[in-house]
Structure 1
Amino acid sequence: MAKIWVNSADSHVLEPHDLWRDALPKRLADRAPRAERADGRETVYVDGQIIRRDPIAFSDAMRPPGAEDPRIRLEDLDEQGVWAEVVFPSRALWTTIMTDRELARECGKAYNDWCLSEVMGVSPRFVGVAVVSVLDTDDAVAELARAVSAGYRAVFLPATPPEGRDFNNEVWEPLWAAAAEADIPICFHIGTGAEQKVARGPGGAVINYVETFYPAQRTVAHLVASGVLDRYPGLRIVMAESGATFVPALADRMDEAYRQHDMFVRPKLSRRPSEIIYSQVYASFQHDPSAIGTATALGFRNVMWGSDYPHLEGTFPNTQKVLHELFDDVAQDVRRRITIDCFNEVFGVAEPPVTV
């Protein structure tokens, strides 16, 4: 089979365990994300919180060769047919559950400096996503400006914000304005942020996986209904690893609410919610065949593919098999929109060497 070259709108770097220990003063480093391994399990500590205890043998065995080395990673990408990729953090995602303003700010800065030097500095094919504070908007705006001046082209926020700081809250307004002025997309990754709902008992593994994508819908609803995206028509948001099929259904539901409950709606928008969503919201998927129908039959064209490298639910080492199953019978213009053009529209990356 001919190789299908693509860009990935969702992948992750794996930061070194000692990143914050070496970059921060001891009074902060002791509370920064760290993992301890014993008896085949891993315990993650963040700002005094114990986050999870995972069996590690299986995940370690399945980890791609380039997970911790960006030069080897480029070999993995070439073999898999991935040209450019957006790289989210892994361990730095835990900064979003911190409760200390200084710790969150400094951990984010340390990660951004490391990613800029050790990942983005290796190749322009890596599009780093800068971490900004979710606890203080002034800190977030300052770090956004610093990141943009350093060369970042995307900013990360969690899908679930801290309590009292919902995304329809006016406390975020300076960040929306700064991102719009800088013309930088804000990328929300599912499964990140404040306390995640956990189901116990039969079906728990599947139920919990499904639970991770509900906050993506909530985030879009908040940013559209509150008027954020209407006030900043150039601001783009990306829902990473959320799948794309929910977007048209959400747009329909919001249009219905806006139309049928007009007397209660505040603020009034200059466009229908669906118009805002279809022009400013983007979503990525990895395995979902329904995402293709979203772009072809339902008219939502802001769909991007992502490999989720190096995570277990990603497509490595079977990326080409997945791509051919998804796209072999898809019209060339739709395939190109999902695999190349939509990504370039948001992140501005050079063309792959070959597209099929």
Structure 2
Amino acid sequence: MDLPRIVSVDDHVIEPAHLFETWLPAKYRDRGPRPMTAGIGELEYTGGKYRITMDPDGRPTDWWIYEDLRFPYKRNIAAVGFHRDDMTLEGITREEMRRGCWDPAARLKDMDLNHVEASLCFPTFPRFCGQTFAEAHDKEVALACVRAYNDWMVDEWCGDSGGRLIPLCIIPLWDIDLAVAEVRRNADRGVRALTFSELPTHLGLPSIHTGYWDPLFALCQETGTVVNMHIGSSSQMPATSPDAPTAVQATLSFNNAMASMSDFLFSGVLVRFPRLTLAYSEGQMGWIPYVLERADDVWREHRAWGGVRDVIPEPPSTYYYRQIFCCFFRDKHGIASLDAVGRDNATFETDYPHVDSTFPHTKRVALDHVKGLDDETVHKLMRGNAIRMLGLDLDTPAA
């Protein structure tokens, strides 16, 4: 099979050390994030949370220092190029990383090696939906940091890529008016994707049921801006017990996406905003058929006492097939259930440069998943659905 070049809807970028020095206005730089190389102590993982300390005698590691936050880069988030058994939670410097982690020109070369034409990249230091700045004390500086990150993302990370690196922007989550203004600012320069929290109440923010986020959703609908929700964008991964190994968390990583989708299906948001597009990132898709079956069953049998009789006029799966995209990279069960998942709803990702990344073997992994599917479906999964979702110019016939 001649596999189409892939449009990956979930990759990641390691921010270069010069980001805020270059893009943050000078008056904020002494209060903004600063890069530092210093030793790292032993990491503790308890109940889904990491505790990280500096240690002058520890392994040299690149950090960001911001207010009272000490944020290190670790091997598991810059794992490409390492042997599987060396993809650990040890600290790492940019010099030790594969250059494509943080250099856009090198990333394009790695995409060529990996059969990838275009890529949407989530942040690392700001965390998946900008939680770092939402948690900051000085919100004036935090807002400047959000804008600086987005300017860097649009003009530097994506700027010289010829459309192959697709801008994904963060918003000031702590203020709906500022969030709307930032979406408008970015939409006006062609950005069609933002990253949002899968479960905002876990961040101490209003739920999607309150109507608080409706101005944001309304503008996203108006501008065709996709609301992307990455697993972990609630700063809380599923944890069973405080002493469970991280392998349990990794196995259950889809859980928050499943919970978030259930939330949206019964929220009325997709009823009020019928052209709003949601995208679940790194959540896989094998679980979706049962969730849709269960949600429709609840709607039929329990909608009166369940509180959604007057909110959701059609079976919840209606809104999924109309407005929600999922993505996968290793999910043969999802492929086997593709008709229920939706041939028009599934997209593909490579997760570069994380531990889960299929780099540099993505073409082989993808072919193993799509063997036996017809050419039209393969095209949809590898690129067509992503192009439609993000409104990309790729595959546009010449005039």
TM-score over 0.5 for the alignment? yes
Q: Could you tell me which amino acid in structure 2 is paired with residue 331 of structure 1?
A: D
Q: Could you tell me which amino acid in structure 1 is paired with residue 210 of structure 2?
A: N
Task: Tell me what 1:138 maps to.
Answer: 177
Task: Tell me what 2:198 maps to.
Answer: 159
CA gap of 1:330–1:300, structure 2 versus 1, over 3 A, is: closer
Q: Does 1:236 align with 2:271?
A: no
What stretches of structure 1 of length at least 5 have no aligned partner? none
Do the aligned partners of 2:32 and 2:145 also contact (CA within 8 Å) in 1? Answer: no
CA gap of 1:158–1:262, structure 2 versus 1, over 3 A, is: closer
Deviation at 1:270, TM superposition (A): 2.7
Task: Tell me what 2:92 maps to.
Answer: none
Residues 96-137 of structure 1 deviation map (CA, whole Å, 9 limit, x = unaligned): 143244344222111110011112211211111111121111
Q: Percent identity, please.
A: 24
The counterpart of 1:96, out of the listed 104, 128, 131, is 131
CA gap of 1:15–1:298, structure 2 versus 1, over 3 A, is: closer
Give me the whole-angstrom Cα distance separating, in 2, the residues matched to 1:282 and 1:158.
16
Which piece of structure 1 moves more, 336-345 or 322-331?
Answer: 322-331
Give me the whole-angstrom Cα distance separating, in 2, the residues matched to 1:295 and 1:249.
12
CA gap of 1:58–1:224, structure 2 versus 1, over 3 A, is: closer
Do the aligned partners of 1:20 and 1:107 also contact (CA within 8 Å) in 2? Answer: yes
Q: Does 1:40 align with 2:81?
A: no
Q: Does 1:247 align with 2:288?
A: yes
Task: Tell me what 1:105 maps to.
Answer: 143
Task: Tell me what 2:86 maps to.
Answer: none
Alignment TM-score, normalising by the size of structure 2: 0.79
Higher helix share: 1
Give me the whole-angstrom Cα distance separating, in 2, the residues matched to 1:212 and 1:56.
15
Residues 158-200 of structure 1 deviation map (CA, whole Å, 9 limit, x = unaligned): 2232214222222111101111111211111111233445554
Task: Tell me what 1:290 maps to.
Answer: 333
Q: Does 1:213 align with 2:260?
A: no
Give me the whole-angstrom Cα distance separating, in 1, the residues matched to 2:218 and 2:141.
25
Deviation at 1:247, TM superposition (A): 2.0
CA gap of 1:93–1:103, structure 2 versus 1, over 3 A, is: farther
The counterpart of 2:361, out of the listed 293, 318, 343, is 318
Do the aligned partners of 1:35 and 1:44 also contact (CA within 8 Å) in 2? Answer: yes
Task: Tell me what 2:312 maps to.
Answer: 269
Do the aligned partners of 1:88 and 1:128 also contact (CA within 8 Å) in 2? Answer: no
CA gap of 1:55–1:87, structure 2 versus 1, over 3 A, is: closer
Deviation at 1:9, TM superposition (A): 1.0
CA gap of 1:35–1:230, structure 2 versus 1, over 3 A, is: farther
The counterpart of 2:231, out of the listed 184, 190, 194, is 190
Deviation at 1:232, TM superposition (A): 0.7
Give me the whole-angstrom Cα distance separating, in 1, the residues matched to 2:256 and 2:60.
28
Task: Tell me what 2:94 maps to.
Answer: none
Give me the whole-angstrom Cα distance separating, in 2, the residues matched to 1:30 and 1:138.
24
Give me the whole-angstrom Cα distance separating, in 1, the residues matched to 2:110 and 2:207.
38
Could you say what secondary structure the match of 1:92 adopts? coil
Give me the whole-angstrom Cα distance separating, in 1, the residues matched to 2:325 and 2:282.
11
What stretches of structure 2 of length at least 5 have no aligned partner? 40-57, 83-96
Give me the whole-angstrom Cα distance separating, in 1, the residues matched to 2:70 and 2:346.
36
Task: Tell me what 2:349 maps to.
Answer: 306
Q: Could you tell me which amino acid in structure 2 is paired with residue 239 of structure 1?
A: Y
Q: Does 1:74 align with 2:117?
A: no
Deviation at 1:35, TM superposition (A): 6.1
Deviation at 1:141, TM superposition (A): 0.2
- Root mean square deviation, CA, Å: 2.8
Residues 232-270 of structure 1 deviation map (CA, whole Å, 9 limit, x = unaligned): 110010001110122222222221222222222234223
Alignment TM-score, normalising by the size of structure 1: 0.88
